[in-house]
C-alpha cells in the first residue's frame, strides 16, 4: 500500500507505506484510547482508559462527565502509547483521530489532540469514521482484504455492509430502531444488571436454555433489523412473573438466541446474494459469545470468517489507526469538524 498525504500547514507530501507508523486517538464515547500501529496491521502500542466505573453509578454514559474524563486521560494515554511503542512523536508518519459518529464533546477532545500532534510534528492528520474503524479491527494481525460482507454491531449501530474495496462500501441493511448493543443494554437494565449490561447478559445466557421462551423476530426489509419489538416482548415476559423470582439465565439465553439467529440469517442471505466469499464481524457486540459462534459457523458453508480479537471489538484506537492506513479517508484536512451522526 502506498498513499500520499499532505501535512496540515506546510503541505509537505508524506508517503504512507508498510513501514509507516500511525498514531491514532479514539474518544467517541466512554473510552479514551491511543495506539501506534505499523503498516495497518501490527500493533506496537494499544492503550485504553475505560470510564465504565464512573458511568456505572448513573446506569449509562453522561456526555458532559465523559468529555471531562477524556480531558483528564488524554495526555496520559498518549504518553503511555509512545512509551509502549518505544518511539518519539517525530517518528510517527501520520496522526489519526475519530471525528464521528459519537458524542460531540468527547470527539472534540481526541480529534483536537490528534490535530495538535500533527501540527506540532508537521505530519498529516487523518480523520476517521468510527464505524470504518470498527471494520478495520479485522485487519489487525490478519491477511484480510476486500471484498467482504460485514456485520457491524455496536452500541449505536447495526448494519450489514458490502465492502467492495478500500474506497467503496455500501450499507445494504440497518436497524430501523434500536441497535443490537442498545437492545442488550436495555434488556439487561430491565432485569437488573448494571451498565453496560451487554457482556453481563451474554455471560448469564451461556448458562441458560436458549429455547425456554419464544420471543418474536421482527419482519422488516430483506437486510434490515428491528429490535424494539423484541425489547417490548422481553419487558412483557419479565412482567408476567409478577414479582416472583425471574429465571434470569433462561430469559437471557432466549433473548440471545433470538438476536443471534436473526443476525445469522440476514448475513447468510447477504453472502448468498453478493456471492462474496468472506464475512467479517465488527463492533463492540462482536465480543458476544453466541453471535461469534453463529457467524463462525458460516465457515461450514465454505466462507472465510473474520472477527476481531476480543480487545479490538470494543472501542480502541488500534482499529482507528488501521482504518487510517487502509480505507480511503475523506476527513483528512484541518477544517474537518466532529459529527454526532452520519448524515
User: Which residues lie near ligand KG4 (CB under 6 A)?
Assistant: 29, 154-156, 181, 184-185, 196, 198-199, 202, 283-285, 287-288, 314-315
Give the CB-nearest residue to ligand KG4: 284
Q: How far apart are CA 261 and CA 257, in angstroms?
A: 6
CB of 179 to ligand KG4, least distance (A): 7
Q: Count the residues in the chain.
A: 343
Choose the one of Zn ion, ligand KG4, none that binds residue 96, judging by a C-beta under 5 to 8 angstroms depending on kind. Answer: none
Q: What torsion do the CA atoms of 328, 330, 333, 338 make, to the nearest 10 degrees? A: -130
Does 158 bind Zn ion (CB under 5 A)? Our answer is no
Residues in binding contact with Zn ion, number by CB under 5 A: 2
Q: How far apart are CA 314 and CA 288, in angstroms?
A: 11
Start-to-end C-alpha separation, the chain: 29
Choose the one of Zn ion, ligand KG4, none that binds residue 124, judging by a C-beta under 5 to 8 angstroms depending on kind. Answer: none
Does 154 bind Zn ion (CB under 5 A)? Our answer is yes
Task: Tell me which residue has cell 433489523.
Answer: 225
Looking at residues 202 to 231 of the shown chain, list those that interact with Zn ion (rule: CB under 5 A).
none
CB of 102 to ligand KG4, least distance (A): 7
Helix (H) or strand (E) holding 109: helix 104-121
Between 59 and 86, whose beta carbon lies closer to ligand KG4? Answer: 59
Between 208 and 283, whose beta carbon lies closer to ligand KG4? Answer: 283
Helix 248-274 to helix 289-296 angle (10° resolution) is 30
Between 155 and 210, whose beta carbon lies closer to Zn ion? Answer: 155
Choose the one of ligand KG4, Zn ion, none that binds residue 61, judging by a C-beta under 5 to 8 angstroms depending on kind. Answer: none
- Where helices occur in 174-317 by DSSP H, the ranges are 180-190, 197-205, 228-240, 248-274, 289-296
CB of 119 to ligand KG4, least distance (A): 28
Q: How far apart are CA 133 and CA 131, in angstroms?
A: 5
Contacting positions for Zn ion (CB under 5 A) = 154, 315
Amino acid at each position: 500500500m502506498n498513499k500520499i498525504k499532505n501535512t496540515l500547514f506546510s503541505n509537505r507530501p508524506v508517503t504512507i507505506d508498510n513501514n509507516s507508523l500511525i498514531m491514532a486517538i479514539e474518544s467517541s464515547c466512554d473510552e479514551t484510547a491511543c495506539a501506534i500501529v505499523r503498516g495497518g496491521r501490527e500493533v506496537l502500542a494499544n492503550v485504553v482508559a475505560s470510564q465504565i466505573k464512573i458511568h456505572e453509578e448513573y446506569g449509562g454514559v453522561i456526555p458532559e462527565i465523559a468529555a471531562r474524563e477524556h480531558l483528564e486521560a488524554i495526555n496520559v494515554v498518549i504518553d503511555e502509547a509512545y512509551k509502549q511503542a518505544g518511539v518519539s512523536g517525530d517518528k510517527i508518519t501520520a496522526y489519526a483521530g475519530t471525528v464521528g459518529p459519537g458524542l460531540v464533546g468527547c470527539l472534540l477532545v481526541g480529534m483536537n489532540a490528534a490535530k495538535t500532534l500533527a501540527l506540532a510534528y508537521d505530519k498529516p492528520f487523518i480523520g476517521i469514521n468510527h464505524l470504518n474503524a470498527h471494520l478495520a479491527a479485522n485487519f489487525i494481525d490478519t491477511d484480510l482484504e476486500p471484498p467482504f460482507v460485514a456485520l457491524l454491531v455496536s452500541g449505536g449501530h447495526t448494519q450489514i455492509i458490502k465492502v467492495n474495496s478500500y474506497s467503496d462500501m455500501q450499507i445494504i441493511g440497518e436497524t430501523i430502531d434500536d441497535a443490537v448493543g442498545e437492545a442488550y443494554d436495555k434488556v439487561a437494565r430491565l432485569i437488573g444488571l448494571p451498565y453496560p449490561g451487554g457482556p453481563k447478559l451474554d455471560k448469564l445466557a451461556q448458562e441458560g436454555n436458549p429455547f425456554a421462551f419464544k420471543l418474536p423476530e421482527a419482519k422488516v426489509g430483506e437486510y434490515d433489523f428491528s429490535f424494539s419489538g423484541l425489547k417490548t416482548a422481553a419487558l412483557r415476559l419479565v412482567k408476567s412473573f409478577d414479582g416472583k423470582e425471574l429465571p434470569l439465565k433462561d430469559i437471557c439465553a432466549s433473548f440471545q438466541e433470538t438476536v443471534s439467529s436473526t443476525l445469522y440469517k440476514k448475513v447468510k442471505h447477504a453472502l448468498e446474494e453478493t456471492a462474496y466469499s468472506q464475512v467479517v464481524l465488527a463492533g463492540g457486540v462482536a465480543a458476544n459469545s453466541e453471535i461469534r459462534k453463529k457467524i463462525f459457523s458460516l465457515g461450514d458453508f465454505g466462507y472465510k470468517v473474520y472477527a476481531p480479537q476480543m480487545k479490538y471489538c470494543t472501542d480502541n484506537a488500534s482499529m482507528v489507526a488501521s482504518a487510517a492506513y487502509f480505507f480511503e479517508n475523506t476527513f483528512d484536512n484541518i477544517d474537518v469538524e466532529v459529527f454526532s451522526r452520519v448524515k
